[in-house]
Amino acid sequence: MTGVQVRLPVGAGSFYPSSQRELAGTIDRLLEDALGRSSNARSTARANAPKPPAGLIVPHAGYGYSGPVAATAYSLLRRATTFRRVVILGPAHFVPLAGLAVPAADRWRTPLGDVAIDGELRAVATGAGAAIDDEPHTREHATDVQLPFLQRVLEPELTTLPVAVGRDAQTAETASMIRAVLDAAPETLVIVSTDLSHHRDAETAGRQDRRTADAIIARDESRISSTDACGSHALRGALSWAERDELAIRLLHLGTSADAGGDPMRVVGYGAFVIG
């Protein structure tokens, strides 16, 4: 491993457990509960089991808050053994970023082990306009919280490509990068990591998130603003890709931080969707 650049986890001990055993157990419980939480989730999982989804839209808060919503989507992958590669698009919360950035690091570490950064997909993404830059990824949790779920539901030889999508990134640029990655590696799963509304009261958040969910289902990126989703730029690019490829999008679950005991006057919204 000499000379290998490893991106260390930033969410361990805060967004999710730092213990390997506790983290694996937490995720497994969330996945089991997801299928038992609603008849709609169970029927959707059965309907999608024979045909793996093309992508997922999932939240990225701490597991105690958004984990049950995210697990509703990840539970669909338990039989999806065709996936070896995953591209994860999310916001750059902490670093100003004009376009798209992929990491220079070789591996991404979680308490469950290391995940290799896919060099072939990185080359494709840079050919489609992404910059190689570790800085937007160094403190970013949007990818960090997704990898442990993926490590529990996909093959051990999983590789990934995290893509930070900046606030000035063009929708067409993001959609074209997704398409380029899929043209190069059709077996790649697309993940969009985003929370929904922020810091509204629970009633207002519920109305806003329902409107956002309707826009996502309609694949109408023009109706998604930065106040609707913190990962709005990544989300709009994915909706444009789904529209271009005529991929249906279905809502799996909507929730808020208030559902997990958070302040009902200042909630964050979460949504899980399946693409394709």
Q: How confident is the model at residue 35 (pLDDT cuts 50, 70, 90)?
A: confident
- Round to whole Å and give the CA distance between 108 and 118: 11
Q: Does the residue 124 lie in any domain?
A: yes
Identify the pLDDT of residue 39.
45
In a domain, 11, yes or no: no
Domain count, the chain: 1
pLDDT digits (tens, 9 = 90+) for 202-231: 999 999 999 999 999 999 999 999 999 999
For residue 105, the SS3 value is: coil
Residue identified by tokens 């999310």 is 90
Residue 16 placed within a domain: no
Q: Is pLDDT of 1 > 70?
A: no
Specify the CATH number for the domain of residue 270: 3.40.830.10
How close are the terminal C-alpha atoms of the chain, in Å? 38
Per-residue model confidence as pLDDT tens digits over 238-266: 999 999 999 999 999 999 999 988 899 99
The verdict on residue 9 lying in a domain is: no
pLDDT single digits (tens) 76-131: 997 656 789 999 999 998 888 989 999 999 999 999 999 999 999 999 999 999 99
Per-residue pLDDT at 156 = 75
Q: Is residue 54 part of a domain?
A: yes
- Residue 71 CB neighbours (<10 A): 30
Residue 106 lies in a domain: yes
Question: What is the model's pLDDT at position 23?
Answer: 98
Q: What is the pLDDT of residue 29?
A: 96
pLDDT at 81: 63
Query: What pLDDT, on the 0 to 100 scale, is given for residue 43?
Result: 47
Comparing 91 with 156, the larger pLDDT belongs to 91
- The residue ranking higher by pLDDT, 177 or 168, is 177
Q: Which domain holds residue 135?
A: 22-275
> For the chain, what percent of residues have pLDDT higher than 70?
93
Secondary structure E strands in 14-137 = 55-58, 85-91, 100-102, 107-110, 113-117, 131-132
Residue 60 lies in a domain: yes
Average pLDDT of every residue of the chain: 91
For the cut 80, the answer to whether the pLDDT of residue 66 exceeds it is yes
pTM: 0.93
Tell me: pLDDT of 48 over 90.
no
- Whole-angstrom distance, CA of residue 276 vs CA of residue 262: 32
The yes-or-no verdict on residue 134 having pLDDT over 60 is: yes
